[in-house]
Structure formats: C-alpha cells, structure tokens
Amino acid sequence: MNALKAELINLTQQSSILEEASTERKNREKRIETLKVEIEKLDNEIESIKQNKVYENAFEWRFEFPEILDNNGDFIGFDVIIGNPPYIQIQKFSGQPIQTALQQQNYSTFVKTGDIYALFIEKGISLLKSNGILSFITSNKWMRAGYGKALRGFLAYKTQPLKLIDFGGYQVFESATVDSNILITQNSLVRTASPQRTSSPQSQLNACTIQKDFTIETSLNDYFNTHQQTISLKLEEAWVISSNIEQQIKEKIERIGTPLKDWDISINYGIKTGFNEAFIIDTVIKERLCLEDPKSAEIIKPILRGRDIKRYSAEWAGLWIIATFPALHLDIENYPAIKNYLESFGKRLEQSGENGCRKKTCNKWFEVQDTIAYWKEFEKEKIVWASVGETYFSIVDKGLFLLDTNYFTSSLTKYHLVLLNSNLLVFYLNGLDTSIGNGGAYRHYKYNFEQIPIPKIPESEQQPFIELVDKILLDKKAGRDTKELEEKIDQLVYKLYELSEEEINIVEGK
C-alpha cells in the first residue's frame, strides 16, 4: 500500500526540464489511473477488515507492522511472538455473532466448550516465520482438559514444543486466580500430518512444574534448568509433567488396569438450577412448605453439595432441592405452596436470558435450568466426587440428589470405590487433573476420570477390598478413626498394581 502511494505521488508531482513526449504522458496518466484503482481497492479491503466483527476492538497487525511484509506486500512473518491472550470460555459467546464468526474462521483448535486463548495460540503460530518462536502465558487447563485435545494435537503436529512451565497452584497474577503456564514452541514444517490423526508418533518436550520451594525472588530460568523433565506428548492423553519414575508408575498402572471408559459406565453431572437461592432450601422452609401443602413433599429432595463429599461417605448438611425438573413435566398448579414460594423471587426465575434473569432456555419459569432426564439415577446407590476440591470419592445412598458441583455414577461398585480412594489412584488422578492453589484441591474432569485404569479381577478376589470398605463405612458412621483400615487398603492396591518399594515411596511422598 505504502509503495503504491509513494509511486502515485511521484507520478502526479513529476516535473522535468524537458517537455514530456505524448506517448510518455499517456503511459504516465494510464499508470496513475491504475494506481488509484489499486489503492482504492486496498482501502476498501482494509475498511472491510476493520468493520468485521472478529476484529472489533482489535488492531490489524499488517497495518501496525509493515516491516513484516516484503516489497510486494507479501507476508513474511514474525520472528518472535510473546503474549498473554485473554481467557474467555467460548460457550459464553453462545447465541452471539462473535461465536459464529470465530467458528467460521475454521480454527483447528476451535471447540465450543473450549477457551479463546487456544485460538490465539493457533493464530500466533500462523503469523510466525518458519522456525519462528511463540511464547505465551495462558491458563494451564488445556494440558489436561478434554477440550484441550484439539490444541494439544495442533501443537504436537504443527509446531515443535520447546519448553513448558506449569505454575500449578502458584499464583502468577495478583489480580487473577487462574492457574497458569508458559508455553514456548516453534513454528515447524516437520510435522505435516493432520491434527485429527490419533496414531501420532510420540514427541518429547522439556517441562517443569513450579513447586512450593519457588518464590518471587527465584530465577525462573535457573529453576527450570534444575527441575526440568523430559515428557512424552500424546494426542489422546493429557500432558503430564512428571519424573522418570513417576512416568514409570503411570505406565505400570495403565498396563495392569482397564480404563473406566471401557467398563461400560455412565457418568452424570449434578443438578444445575440456574438460581440456587430459590431452589435450594433448608429444613425450616421445607417443613413450612409441606405444612402448607403436604403434596410439596413429592418434589422436595435431600441435596448434597461438592463440599459435602468426603472420603468414602458424605456429610449431608440438611439442605433440600425443589426438584422441578423439566423432564418431569410438572404442573406447578398442583403444588400451590411451592408455586407461591417460587413466585416470591419474581422475574429472577424467568429463563429468558434477559438481564437479571436466568439464561435463555425452553423451560418454564418454575423449572430448574437443565432438563435432568437422568433424574431416576438419583434414586440409586451411587459413587460421587466433587468437580472441584480434594480428591475424595463417596458412596451415597438411594434418594440423595446432587448439585452440579458433583459428578456421579451408579455403574460402579464398592470395589471401584476402594481403589479410587487409595493413595495410588489419587496420586494418578491428581497427575491428570488441574491443581488449584497449594491446599491439595483439584479441578476434576470427567474426561480424566474415564482414563483411570482399574484391574478387572474375579468377584472372589474383590471381596477383601469390599470387606474393608464395609468396615470403614461402619466406623465412619460411628465416628471412629479409619486410618489403619485405609492403610491396609493401600497395601492391597500397591500389590494389585505390582509396585516396588521405591515406587511406593514416591506415591507416599517419601
């Protein structure tokens, strides 16, 4: 563009001592008209780009960095791109033009349940020269979450990852609670296969996790050089930073066990109401509603929150849910006391998506936000774990319902419960999930739970585990200490997975 304008100025302001020949003048005037048309065309293209919804409130790098174009205006690329892209869940744009616009860009890392920073990484790579370097600090969820599979595949096939620093629970930003990592990768032409392939050869990456010994005064470069591990990258699996012996333990667990996803299980999420203040009530309100109208008891159920889930058993806090599930097709007129109670919350319960209301759905104003077609599963005995918190698995009685801060399945047995609560499999799952802070809490993903390998053994060999868990449940109910019983379980589990003494010491932090 600048070159064309310079040429136009030169031709229109041209002066000469000698008179210009007729042919030369005609050629010059023809060239001037051609330049004006080309410049106008480029101006229109630029204006079109600026008006595009995708580029709203953004700058266009081709205008801001003309030095990355050659003399013909062709893109050369950046040598280095460094940044901290925004973290916004793409599903938050649902129903908005921006989500459609992003999807139409055909990013290979686009996932509706993903995050916009993945698209920034892909775009950054596309703006690099061949062998150029990208260094971004982002949320670390992509390393382990199911939605991160597309990004992990893109990085493994289209780039050469060089370094990865996972800050885990260490808070990099004072004003943000996001768990961060730093990715340094190189735009590479070595991998040309499609990211969708699932039989990719393994690639390696030097990586480290920031531990509790890291302080603000610590040199990040020195820390990385001291603590780095070489990890293998696989498209189908989470990227886990671990030592050689930790990787050895992981491989042994996976060799001996069968992933839960192959056990023919069904995993559900708890109930999302859209407005817990109305639908979650205490016993006082529950008794009042039932006194006003005994039929209220038909749709008021005991509810567990994520914080109520402990190891082996849950601690009900005396809370209840008004179970107006859309799947039940209830007529609220049949429950006048509950209708009057819910009406007291006014417009806030409407599911219109308007300001001050719940998100837009096809459900009625008195119904919870999600359909809950699987509500009958709550009437079964089930294994439950919180979506965020410490790694605890609890067996929950029939008829206890769960909030959306929990996952649950009625497809597993006490044998599975014992193994899931063992030191070894807690160690394994924590390596897949995302650490939150330094207090032992994790963000648990359904995708990672499905990867947990459990050995398939005859029912007769499961009995020692089941007998121990029955004793633990009885002792917990009686308020007795169960540490000794849990230690016996750990020893049985170590033997089941054939761990050596050295490997056991690693699992137990010795």
Confidence label for 198 from pLDDT (cuts 50, 70 and 90)? very low
Residues of the chain with CATH 3.40.50.150: 77-241
Confidence label for 18 from pLDDT (cuts 50, 70 and 90)? low
20, pLDDT greater than 90: no
472, pLDDT greater than 60: yes
What pLDDT score was predicted for residue 433? Answer: 83
For the stretch 298-357, pLDDT in tens is: 999 999 999 999 999 999 999 999 999 999 999 999 999 999 999 999 999 999 999 999
CB 427 within 8 A of CB 419: no
Measured in whole angstroms, how far is the alpha carbon of residue 248 from the centre of its chain?
Answer: 26
**Hey, how many other C-beta atoms are within 10 angstroms of the C-beta on 388?**
15
What pLDDT score was predicted for residue 53? Answer: 63
Three-state secondary structure call for residue 295 = helix
**Hey, how many other C-beta atoms are within 10 angstroms of the C-beta on 198?**
10
- 58-80 burial, b at 16+ Cβ within 10 Å, e below that, comes to eeeeeeeeeeebeeeeeeeebee
Higher-confidence residue of 422 and 102: namely 422
- For 77-241, CATH gives 3.40.50.150
* 88-97, 285-294, 464-473: least confident range: 88-97
For the stretch 111-150, pLDDT in tens is: 988 999 999 999 999 989 888 999 999 998 898 888 898 9
Q: What is the mean pLDDT of the chain?
A: 88
For the stretch 27-86, pLDDT in tens is: 877 888 888 888 888 788 777 766 666 666 676 666 777 778 877 777 888 899 999 999
Q: What is the dihedral of CA 501, 503, 507, 510, to 10 degrees?
A: 60
* 129-138, 358-367, 433-442, 489-498: least confident range: 433-442
